[in-house]
């Protein structure tokens, strides 16, 4: 079982971001952390203890986990620790602005062994354009600090496909990232989301497939292999086991306002609003996921990543199309699993097969 914990606070709202986070509810931080503990205890009781399971990975995401003081996480870890698998991967996201040396060190002492920094770019003008509140230097310092403290995994998020991005400007960002002690790089193509400052400003996004291919090649040539459409790792052990778990369609607990859980063929959605969540952290909406939907998800996720799709999932008619795609050099088969050669075509290929 994977565990996701959501922290819905940010110091400021970036112009592209539609994640569930608030910049005006800081007075609720302590109550929110208490509410998290209630849901966490409940979910662990119902889905871990009763089913005799273990937690394989933990991911504290947001919003911005580094907006919460490290001591507020102590009890969360006390609750989780007895149920963790040995050597579990425990990641926290962090913003370069709020992830001080002390915060990183305290989180590391609590058991966090992987940190994912929202860097987006090292270029001052681009950071400003994206509405980021930190400088390039603070991102560099945060990554160096995390390395000095001894985090096993350090990820850097970079966004591309923003107005004025070119291969040359992106190379500068990646070169800077690779000059730092990172083990993982996430390169996200900008998506324009409803409800953000960038919505209705379509000129902000460059839709250039060629740029994506060039970026993938550039990162691969730097020695970081692509194991998902947006994710690159220094070596096999540096891949994010938590995210890989999603692509393998593993079950996950979703704890916190606006989190999503998936257990026993059901998705569950705790309240999105912070106040509602604090009032009742155990209320959630539930949705049955049909076997057909599970199959579609497994295929979509499998083709977006190196996980691939088990051959037995396809019926006879679909398998004919798979064989054609293997013939056409788009897919390949290994050990009874089907793999996609070009992650950018994953949706198209999945829809063609399932049509």
| Between 14 and 278, CB nearer to ligand SAM | 14
- 85 vs 193, which CB is nearer to ligand SAM? 193
**For residues 291 and 286, what is the distance between their CA atoms, to the nearest angstrom?**
16
Strand ranges in the chain using DSSP code E only, listed in sequence order? 2-7, 55-62, 84-94, 114-120, 153-160, 184-189, 225-228, 231-233, 252-255, 261-263, 266-270, 284-288, 309-310, 331-334, 337-340
The answer to the question of residue 91 lying near ligand SF4 (CB under 6 A) is no
Q: Are strands 184-189 and 153-160 parallel, antiparallel or unpaired?
A: parallel
User: Which of positions 57-86 make contact with ligand SF4 (CB under 6 A)?
Assistant: 62-64
Residue 13 site contact among ligand SF4, ligand SAM, none (CB < 5 to 8 Å, cut-off depends on kind)? ligand SF4
Q: Which does 190 bind (CB under 5 to 8 A by kind): ligand SF4, ligand SAM, none?
A: ligand SAM
Binding segment for ligand SF4 (CB under 6 A), chosen from 13-21, 33-41, 162-170, 275-283, is: 13-21
Residues 132-151 that bind ligand SAM (CB under 6 A): none
Residue range at the interface with ligand SAM (CB under 6 A); choices 15-23, 101-109, 258-266, 324-332: 15-23
7 neighbors 61 (Cβ within 8 angstroms): yes
Helix then strand count (H, E) for the chain reads 12, 15
User: CA-CA distances (angstroms) from residue 225 to 137, 234, 305?
Assistant: 27, 7, 11
Report, in Å, the least distance between residue 64 CB and ligand SF4.
5
The residues that bridge with 225 in the sheet, in sequence order, are 233
17 makes contact with ligand SF4 (CB under 6 A): yes
How many CA atoms within 13 Å lie on the side-chain side of 285?
9
Q: Which residue is nearest to ligand SAM (CB)?
A: 118
- Whichever of 137 and 191 has its CB closer to ligand SAM, that residue is 191
Supply the minimum distance, in Å, between the C-beta of residue 99 and ligand SF4.
Answer: 11
Q: Is 61 in the site for ligand SAM (CB under 6 A)?
A: yes
Question: Does residue 256 touch ligand SF4 according to CB under 6 A?
Answer: no
189 belongs to the binding site for ligand SF4 (CB under 6 A): no
**CA distance to 4, 20, 94, 111, 245, per residue, from 58 (Å):** 6, 19, 15, 10, 11
Choice between 23 and 220, CB closer to ligand SF4: 23
Binding segment (CB under 6 A) for ligand SF4, from list 12-20, 107-115, 134-142, 325-333: 12-20
Supply the minimum distance, in Å, between the C-beta of residue 120 and ligand SAM. Answer: 6
Residues 269, 256 contacting (CB under 8 angstroms): no
Residue 271 interacts with ligand SAM (CB under 6 A): yes or no: no
Task: Quote the Cα angle for 177-167-330, to 5°.
Answer: 95
SS3 194: coil
What is the C-alpha radius of gyration for the chain, rounded to an integer number of angstroms?
20
Tell me which H or E stretch contains 297.
helix 291-303
Q: Does 118 bind ligand SF4 (CB under 6 A)?
A: yes
Q: Does 197 bind ligand SF4 (CB under 6 A)?
A: no
350 Cβ contact partners less than 8 Å away, ≥ 6 residues apart: 296, 299, 300, 303
Binding site for ligand SF4 (CB under 6 A): 10, 13-14, 17, 19, 21, 62-64, 95, 118
Binding site for ligand SAM (CB under 6 A): 16-17, 19, 61-62, 64, 93, 95, 118, 120, 157, 159, 188, 190-191, 193
């Amino acid at each position: 079982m994977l565990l996701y914990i959501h922290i819905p606070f940010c110091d400021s709202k970036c112009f592209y971001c539609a994640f569930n986070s608030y910049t005006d509810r800081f007075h609720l931080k302590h109550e929110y952390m208490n509410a998290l503990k209630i849901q966490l205890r409940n979910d662990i009781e119902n889905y871990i203890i009763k089913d005799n399971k273990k937690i394989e990975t933990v991911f504290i995401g947001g919003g911005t986990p580094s907006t919460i003081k490290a001591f507020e996480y102590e009890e969360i870890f006390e609750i989780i620790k007895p149920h963790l698998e040995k050597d579990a991967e425990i990641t926290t996201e962090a913003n370069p602005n709020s992830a001080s040396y002390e915060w990183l060190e305290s989180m590391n002492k609590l058991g966090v062994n992987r940190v994912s920094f929202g860097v987006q770019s090292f270029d001052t003008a681009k950071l400003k354009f994206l509405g980021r509140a930190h400088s390039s230097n603070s991102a560099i310092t945060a990554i160096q600090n995390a390395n000095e403290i001894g985090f096993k995994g350090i990820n850097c998020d970079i966004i591309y496909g923003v107005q004025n991005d070119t291969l040359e400007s992106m190379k500068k960002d990646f070169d800077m990232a690779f000059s730092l002690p990172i083990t993982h790089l996430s390169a996200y193509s900008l998506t324009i989301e409803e409800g953000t400052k960038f919505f209705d400003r379509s000129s902000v996004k460059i839709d250039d497939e060629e740029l994506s291919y060039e970026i993938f090649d550039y990162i691969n040539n730097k020695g970081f292999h692509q194991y998902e459409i947006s994710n690159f790792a220094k070596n096999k052990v540096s891949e994010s086991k938590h995210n890989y778990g999603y692509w393998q369609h593993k079950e996950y607990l979703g704890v916190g306002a606006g989190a999503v859980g998936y257990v026993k063929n059901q998705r569950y959605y705790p309240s999105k609003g912070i106040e509602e969540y604090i009032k009742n952290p155990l209320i959630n909406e539930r949705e049955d996921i049909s076997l057909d939907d599970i199959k579609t998800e497994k295929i979509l996720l499998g083709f977006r990543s190196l996980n691939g799709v088990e051959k037995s999932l396809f019926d006879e008619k679909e398998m004919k199309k798979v064989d054609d795609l293997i013939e056409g050099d788009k897919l390949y088969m290994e050990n009874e699993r089907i793999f996609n050669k070009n992650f950018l075509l994953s949706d198209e290929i999945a829809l063609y097969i399932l049509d």
